[in-house]
Each structure stands twice: as structure tokens, then as C-alpha cells.
A and B are shown apart, each in its own frame.
Chain A
Amino acid sequence: MVDAGTILAQLADPYLLLVIVASAAYGLAIGSIPGLTALMATALLVPFIIFMAPLPAIASIITASAMAIFAGDIPGALLRMPGTPASAAYTDDAFKLTRQGKSATALGAGLFASAFGGVASATILTLCAPWLARIALSFSSVEYFWLGVLGLSCATFVAGPSLLKGLASLLFGLFLATMGLDPISGMPRFTFGSTNLVGGLGLIPVLIGLFAVSELLRNSYGQDRQMSEKAKPASIVKTVVKLMWPHKIGLLRGSLLGTVVGSLPGAGSDIAAWISYALAKKSSKRGNSDTEEGAVERIMSASAANNASLGGAYIPATVFGIPGDAITAIVISVMFIKGVNPGPTLFLNQPQVIYAIFAIFFLANLLMLPLGIACIRGFGLILRLPTSIISPVILLFCILGAFSVENTLFAVGLVALFGLLGYVMEENEVPLAPAILGLILGPLLEQTFMTTMLKSQGDLLTFFNRPIGGTIGAVTILVWALIIGLKLFASRDAKNDSSLADTAS
């Protein structure tokens, strides 16, 4: 450890602070616009920061991505359009609270949990990054496969009333993920000779289409439907501060889980949020209930997890130079350009740089509270403009978001297609969230399954041969058995109830 004085002295640089504040405002603005995501916020920063001094450059990415991941909750809660894939897990919960006039609770819970998750992961990062990185490195394709299967079980929690329709949506998402190049042989699949399809369906255009555009379509004919509550919003700080303590377990669980999942290369903030959401729902009575309290518990757990995973992703990135997600891939290349080569030698030779980076995590996540509240207020004000003017602007941002992530006009076409599809699915009570989950997890599942089979030459037993992998595998199978058992049990109960109701009426 280096002494705290040198680090604070580095942070006291006014230029650095200016960069942090500017990146924070930028991250919040991008993240809170439906259609514009955290990854896009980071990618658009590249031309600006790539030639800055190392510390401001990395500080800018850390701050902007943390703010954007949180800000993705805002359109999710107020408009039912998740700003990032990571907030798709709890969009419905948050929007339900907003419909009840409790947007301050929904967004405040997200904001404080995000900041908490960020600070918690920064603490873990500072205290035990090298140690955690070694654990992450013991994961081979077997362990990743089981993690993916465990992640799939989340689908049943967001399936809505009909399990079958939820599964149909999940499988549809998995199918969409197979379009493009097969990860093993590189063969094109379902591309019908189109070069655009060889690239597969980007997650972001599909997400924007399914959630944001379908919501615009639904709003287009309901004149009476307001886009948000008009009532004066309650004080966020007052509402949420008293909610923090009762939900401490959920917050801690989410933060810890987020950091660990984030530290696994290839499993990003979206997977962390989904798994944390599922755990909150499964492992506590409070998290499973349909009340406001239950929703807050789930929002807090998942929100803490997606921000914590951002910090977690820096563990393998700084210790071994292995990117945890697309955002840290950009961070690593910026670090290389600056000659700050990530790796264990960085901890030995330039500890002041690495701990300054970790310190920026604390700073950024604390800054999130005041700026986040201002952003929520500002967003609320914009929504008071007439819907007839706001909704076309949202549509423009949806198009722009899809285009700037993929840089192809084909992505714009996908937005229209999946907008209509999402509308039809919702009308027929087929939930959208499982499809997004399938699209996120599909590539991970298929790659790891195929890689494992290549390595073992087709021996399925290999999935249980490794100590960690076998354990996760057993747990996963148990969870699935439990889910199916419970669902069968519950549906029998429901049938009994409905038959009782029938006889009663």
C-alpha cells in the first residue's frame, strides 16, 4: 500500500476534478436518454481521452460509465424504457412503483443502491484485487457454462403469469443469439446470405426496439395515458434514507455478487443484475413479495449489483490485463496507450497510479448522489413537456443510439422490426425481459458448451470433473429442479384456487 497522502495529492489536481465532473454530467445525460447506453458513452469518449494524461483519461471512463449505468434506471422507471441492458431486469418493478406515484422511491432506491454498490466494490477492489483476480482465473469454460445455466433460471422469475410464454420468450432470445457466425466453426447461421446478418443481431438495437419503441407504439394510441406522474415528486433523500437499513442484506448481497460476477471476464453488469435480481426474489421472503417493499428490495439488490460489477471488472483488468467487459476492454487499451501497462508489475512499480484509480471509484460513486438527484429532477421536468413533442425526440434518440453503437444503418432497421415485434409480444402477454436475457446469455452458453466439448472430445462427464465447476453445476441443477418443482406445485395450487373460485361464483 502507498500512503494515503500521495494519493490525495494526486486527486487534488483541479484539472482532474474538472474532468471527473464533466464526465459525470456527460455519463448521466447519455445514460438517461432512452436508447443511449453506458457502453456507447464510453466508446464515444475514446477519441477525447485517448490522448489525455493517464489518470484523467481513466477517471473519465470510470466516472462516465458508473453514471451511465445508474442513469439507465431513470427512463426505465419513468418511461418503462431501460436505458441499459443492466436495468432491464427491474424495469417492470420500478415502473410499477412510478404508476403508483412513487417514482421517488423507485429512482431513489436505484440511486442509493448504485452508489452503495459502487463504493462497496471499490472497497473490495482496494483491499483484495490481486487475490480475487487469481480466483477468477481458475474459471474455465466448464464453470462459465454452469454460470450461464444458472443465469437462465432468472428467466422464470421475470416470466410473468405464464411460465410457458416466459420460456417461449427466453428460447426466442436464445435463437436470436445464434444468428450470425457460429462461435466455434465460424460458419454463418441464419444469415440468408446477408452480410449484415453475418454480424449477428446487436444486443443494443434489439433492446431499444423491444423495450423503447414498443412502448412508444403502445403510447401512440392511448391519448389519455400520461408518460409520467404529474404529481409533485416526494423528496428522494428523505424517502430513501430510511429504506437503506431494512434492505441492508439485499444491498450487501447485491454488492458482493456484483463485484464477483464483474470480476469474471466475459460476465458483465447485465448478468450481475439479473442474477442478483433472481437471488433477491428467491432467497428472501421480502424480495419475493408483490408489495412495494418487495419491489424496493429487488431494485436495490439488482442496482447495487450492476454498479458493483463495474468495479469488479477492473480486478482482472488491472491485475492481469484481461478485460472483464467491453468497457474495461476500452480502459485497458487506453492504459496501454498511456504506457500504464496493466499487470502485477503495475501494483509493484506504480502503486500510486493503481490506488489513485481505485480512489476515483470512491469519488465517482459519492458524486453520483447529488448529481443523480439533480438528473432525476431534470428528467422529471423534461417529461412535463407535452407527450406529442417528447415522443418523437425519444424515437430519434432510439435511432441514434442503435446507429452509434453498431455504426450500420441495418441496426436502425432492426429497431423498427423489434419495436413492432415487442409490441405484438406484449399484447399477447409474452414477456420481453426473458428474450433479452436469452440474447445476453446465449453466446456465453453456446461458446462455453462447445469449447468444453472440443476439449473433452465429446465427453459430457467433463462438466462435473472439475471441483469448482462440478459444485456450481450441482447447485444449478438443484436450483432448476426447485424452480420446476415449485412452479408445478404453485400451478396446482392456483388451479385449486381457481376451481374454488369457480364453484364460489
Chain B
Amino acid sequence: MKAHDSIVGLVVAILGGAIALYSQSLVPPRHLNYGPGFFPLLIGIGLVLVGGGLIVQGYVTGRDKPLFYRPRWLENRQLVFRFWIIPIAILFYWLAVTPLGFLATATILLAMIQIANGVRWKLAFAVALITALVVNILFASILHVPLSWGVLTPISGLFIW
């Protein structure tokens, strides 16, 4: 999604204003000359100025440009799905990895995106399972990254080498 430069500037300026306002609520707990709000205030003011500059620049150079530009791929539902499956997959991992464990979560995540990308589901699941297994052995069993074991927790002692 592409927006007009002036809108980008507006968003930047609003963010800066919010930061500057919030910085005023940061009162130093002790007698400090420059408190915790000082840098955020500077940054906020900077963003407001830059945002203002962008609004003006956008107005001067791009009066004839549309406010929003909708790229063509947004009309293709399959492509939109392929796009959104990525953040959805990460969120799925976030929510599922503790109860299900890494192995199951990673397998589902990998298979889900491959199928969305048009891989046949049998192949997708096979590739997903093998990859997840290898990654799990590499990271949890050998490198001792504390990945969740989920449903395998009671017997996880067997898998940590």
C-alpha cells in the first residue's frame, strides 16, 4: 500500500507529537537537570518538523498524485492470502509453541505456508516434518536453545543431549 507523501508526513508528525506529549509525563525521580523525558522530547520535536517538511514537500511536488495507491496484486485473492499468511504464521507460532511444542508448531507453520504457495500438501508436510525435526535436533538437542517441548515435555529428558 502506497500513500501520498503528505500522508506519510502526517503520520510521522502525529507520531512525533504523541512522543513529545508523552515525554512530558516523564518526571525525573531525583534532581536531574535533564530527565528521562529529554531525549524523547527532542526526538518527538524532530519527527514533527520532518513530518511537517514532508507534508509541504508532498503538497508542492505531488499535488496531482492520488492520496492512496492500490497496487494491482491486491485484487488477486490468492496473492493477498500468500502475503498475510506470513504474519499469521508468526502469530500462530507465538500462541501455539508453548502448548504444542516446537516440533508440532514448526511442522504446521512450514506446511501451512508451503501449501499457500501452491506446493502439494503431501510433499509440503513431508518437507515440513523433516525440516522441523532437523532444526529441533540441531537447536534444542545439540545447541540447548530452550525451545518448548509442549506435549513432549514429560519425556523431554531423552531429547536433550
Contact = CB atoms under 8 A, between A and B. Distances in A.
Interface of A: 44, 47, 164-165, 167-168, 171-172, 174-175, 178, 182, 184-185, 187, 189-190, 213, 216-217, 220-223, 386-389, 391-393, 395-397, 399-400, 403-404, 407, 409, 412-413, 415-416, 419-420, 424, 427-428, 430, 445-446, 449-450, 453-454, 457-458
B26 to A, nearest CB: 6
B70 to A, nearest CB: 11
Interface in B18-68: 19, 22, 26, 28-30, 32-40, 43-44, 46-47, 50-51, 53-54, 57
A296 B90 CA distance: 36
Contact of A168 (B12, B33, B44, B93): B12
B104 interface: no
A221 B147 CA distance: 31
B141 interface: no
A220 B53 contact: no
B32 A185 contact: yes
B1 interface: yes
17 contacts: A168-B8, A168-B12, A168-B50, A174-B39, A185-B28, A220-B83, A388-B119, A389-B127, A392-B109, A396-B109, A396-B135, A397-B135, A399-B90, A400-B145, A412-B94, A453-B34, A457-B33
A392 B12 contact: no
A397 B134 CA distance: 12
A435 to B, nearest CB: 12
A394 to B, nearest CB: 10
A178 B94 contact: no
A386 B87 CA distance: 21
Contacts of A44: 143-145
B137 interface: no
Residue of A392, A396, A415, A420 ringed by the most chain B CB atoms within 10 A: A392
Contacts of A387: 117
Contacts, number: 160
A189 to B, nearest CB: 6
A341 B33 CA distance: 40
**Majority SS at the chain B contact face:** helix
Interface in B91-121: 91, 93-94, 97-98, 106, 109-110, 112-114, 117-119
B151 interface: no
B32 A184 contact: yes
Contacts of B143: 44
A413 B106 CA distance: 15
Contacts of A178: 39-40, 43
Nearest to A425: B8
A171 B98 contact: no
Given A185-B28, A217-B86, A396-B106, A389 B114 contact: yes
B159 interface: no
A222 to B, nearest CB: 8
Given A164-B53, A221-B73, A395 B36 contact: no
B85 to A, nearest CB: 8
Contacts of A427: 1-2
Given A175-B15, A392-B114, A413-B94, 20 more contacts: A44-B145, A167-B46, A172-B47, A174-B39, A175-B44, A187-B28, A187-B36, A189-B40, A217-B87, A220-B79, A391-B113, A392-B113, A396-B132, A399-B93, A404-B145, A412-B94, A413-B91, A415-B90, A416-B91, A419-B90
A175 B34 CA distance: 17
B8 A395 contact: no
Nearest to B106: A396
- Specify which of B28, B39, B113 lies most central, judged by the most chain A CB atoms within 10 Å of its CB: B39
Determine which residue in B19, B113, B118, B139 has the highest number of CB atoms from chain A within 10 A of its CB, and name it. Answer: B113
B94 A396 contact: no
Contacts of A457: 33
B8 A428 contact: yes
Nearest to B148: A409
Contacts of A222: 73
A179 to B, nearest CB: 9
A187 B26 contact: yes
Interface in B120-137: 127-128, 131-132, 135
A169 to B, nearest CB: 9
Nearest to A405: B145
Given A47-B144, A404-B145, A416-B87, A171 B110 contact: no
A344 B76 CA distance: 67
B29 to A, nearest CB: 5
A190 B22 contact: yes
B160 to A, nearest CB: 11
Contacts of B157: none
Contact of B110 (A220, A392, A450): A392
A235 B87 CA distance: 38
B27 to A, nearest CB: 9
B90 A416 contact: yes
B83 A221 contact: yes
Nearest to B61: A498
